[in-house]
Structure 1
Amino acid sequence: MGHPYRLRPFRILRSAAADRAAALREFSALLVAHSEVEEDEVHPALRRYQNVDGDDVEHGVHEHEEADEALLALLEVKDARSEEWEEKLEALVTAVNHHVDEEERPLLNDTRENVADGRRAELGKAFREARAKHLDADCGSVDHVRELVG
């Protein structure tokens, strides 16, 4: 099974028959919550492990910033049926897929190999709880994404 951001949401966002604006609001919330919680909860914990590559962690933060910029550009497109939407969507798809390929997989593999099962379970629980709080706070709103990018 692939990463959740690479499957259904992109298909919906590309579909001319879909409610693209609603799909983007949902995707924005999930992407922003994921990035913020990863940076707040997971990255600080992983930096403490000698065999988890700190450069991968820092590179991931940079890629979150790139994804946020691409997300904001798409959120600011007024017409979800326009060529501009298509262009900005493909830039977002590229940024997210690059992040998954370059940071998520290597970091997850390092974590699997070097962090004990119990600690990984604790991190997963903390991630889920914090993500729910971010989602409840409307973290994917265009105003919040502007703050992140600014």
Structure 2
Amino acid sequence: MSSHDVVELILQDHRRMEDLFRTLRNAEADRAAALAEFANLLIAHASAEEDEVYPALRRYKNVDGEDVDHGVHEHEEANEALLALLEVEDTASQDWEDKLEELVTAVNHHADEEERTLLNDARENVADDRRAQLGTAFREARARYLEADCGSVENVRKLVAG
């Protein structure tokens, strides 16, 4: 299993998001810093998937195209939940806690579903060398989004306005 494998790279991001959720739920933590990291990671991850991974998976007959469409739809829902949290100014408020839980629910639901459908299908149907190629493309796209501060509230507003 190479660390270039696109499936492994996506799973690593999902686990990092779970770690960040634990930090965000901790009232003693630097919630603003954790949210900034989370926002950048979520947007870069989802955008790189939509640019490089989803179109490639759609071409495999054993990967369900409807699962791909559904993944894109769930990215949009996660972006809306992220924006709602980014727009709450007081990280100690009940509103912030409520919006955080909505974001956690949206992202965990999507990650869980993606792991059970698309990623399992990719593991079974896409050759190792192709998964490595996709992993490189995913990593490069993700890095470009991260460098562009893709998780800024201004950018997330633009994405949600679509």
TM-score, reference length from structure 2: 0.89
Query: Is contact 1:38–1:127 with CA below 8 Å preserved after alignment?
Result: yes
Moved over 4 A (4+): none
Displacement of 1:8 after TM fit?
Answer: 1.3
CA distance in 1, matches of 2:16, 2:71: 16
Displacement of 1:5 after TM fit?
Answer: 4.4
CA distance in 2, matches of 1:137, 1:6: 19
Partner of 1:55: 66
What is the aligned residue count? 150
2:22 corresponds to which letter in structure 1? R
Structure with the larger RCO, 1 or 2 (CA within 8 Å, 6+ apart): 2
The answer for unaligned runs of 5 or more in structure 2 is 1-10
CA distance in 2, matches of 1:147, 1:89: 20
1:126 corresponds to which letter in structure 2? A
Displacement of 1:104 after TM fit?
Answer: 3.4
Q: Are 2:115 and 1:104 equivalent residues in the alignment?
A: yes
Q: What's the RMSD between the two structures over aligned residues?
A: 1.3
The answer for unaligned runs of 5 or more in structure 1 is none
CA distance in 1, matches of 2:68, 2:150: 22
Query: Is contact 1:43–1:57 with CA below 8 Å preserved after alignment?
Result: yes
Partner of 2:139: 128
Tell which deviates more after alignment, 11-20 or 85-94.
11-20
